[in-house]
């Protein structure tokens, strides 16, 4: 999944990024409101982690703007304020959850999982398709109950395809889901990862179909 982290503390931002990347996520980090607006115009995100105290404004303005334009991207607010009134005000603006600094990274990961589950409207992590079981939050895949190891890019690719079965995904869309800004990514790389993923799914009910001139989709007969 792709996350946007808006946090001006460089040390904390780096620590959060490294922790979430270990879970297989892409994290785009920015430190101010202006950069956050720019990034949101460039791509879409599965989750936003938002600090409230930023150099060029209040993070609540980012939250208020997104909700005013009916952008329902889940947002977890990160702040040093322990005032109950501040939490209530932020949640009323449309935040999905609240983390008070300092926090344990295990709690951050748990809250991320919980918010993403709610986004999917499901209390479970598991997606069951044919003889394939995929835990979207833990990034684990089994075929007929047997675990299948996916490397980071393979995991991101499978996640993008299975998130919308039967829908055709262009190479450009898949590149956006696989690579961070600044990473070396190409349509040839997508073809390589598609080939690897096909081999790992060959004993499953799933098939990755090439739709000539349009992209790829995952099918379950």
21-59 pLDDT, tens digit each: 887 788 999 999 999 999 988 888 999 999 998 999 888
pLDDT band, residue 217 (cuts 50/70/90): very high
Beta bridge partners, 207, equal 219
Superfamily of domain 2-120: Response regulator (3.40.50.2300)
Give the best-scoring range by mean pLDDT among 99-108, 138-147, 190-199: 190-199
The structural domains of the chain, with segments of one domain joined by +, span 2-120, 126-219
Predicted model pTM: 0.69
In CATH terms, the fold of domain 126-219 is Arc Repressor Mutant, subunit A (1.10.10)
pLDDT band, residue 185 (cuts 50/70/90): low
* Res 21: pLDDT: 87
Closest CA to 167 of 103, 211, 117, 109: 211
Per DSSP, the three-state class of 99 is strand
User: Please, what's the b/e burial string for 29-55 (b: 16 or more CB within 10 A of its CB; e: otherwise)?
Assistant: bbbbbebbeebbeeeebbbbbbbbebe
* Res 139: pLDDT: 77
98 touches 87 (CB < 8 A) = yes
């Amino acid at each position: 999944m792709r996350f946007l982290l808006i946090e001006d503390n460089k040390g904390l931002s780096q620590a959060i990024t490294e922790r979430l990347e270990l879970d297989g996520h892409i994290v785009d980090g920015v430190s101010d409101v202006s950069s956050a607006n720019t990034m949101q115009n460039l791509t879409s995100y599965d989750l936003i982690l938002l600090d409230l105290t930023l150099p060029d404004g209040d993070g609540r303005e980012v939250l208020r703007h997104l909700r005013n334009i009916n952008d329902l991207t889940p947002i977890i607010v990160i702040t040093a304020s322990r005032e109950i009134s501040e939490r209530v005000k932020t949640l009323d603006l449309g935040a999905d959850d609240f983390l008070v600094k300092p926090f344990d990274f295990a709690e951050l990961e748990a809250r991320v999982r919980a918010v993403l589950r709610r986004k999917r409207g499901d209390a479970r992590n598991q997606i069951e398709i044919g003889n394939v079981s995929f835990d979207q939050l833990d990034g684990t895949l089994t075929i007929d109950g047997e675990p299948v190891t996916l490397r980071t890019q393979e995991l991101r690719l499978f996640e993008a395809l299975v998130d919308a079965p039967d829908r055709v995904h262009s190479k450009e869309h898949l590149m956006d889901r696989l690579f961070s800004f600044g990473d070396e990514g190409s349509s040839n790389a997508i073809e390589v990862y598609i080939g690897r993923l096909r081999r790992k799914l060959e004993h499953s009910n799933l098939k990755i179909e090439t739709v000539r001139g349009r992209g790829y989709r995952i099918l379950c007969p």
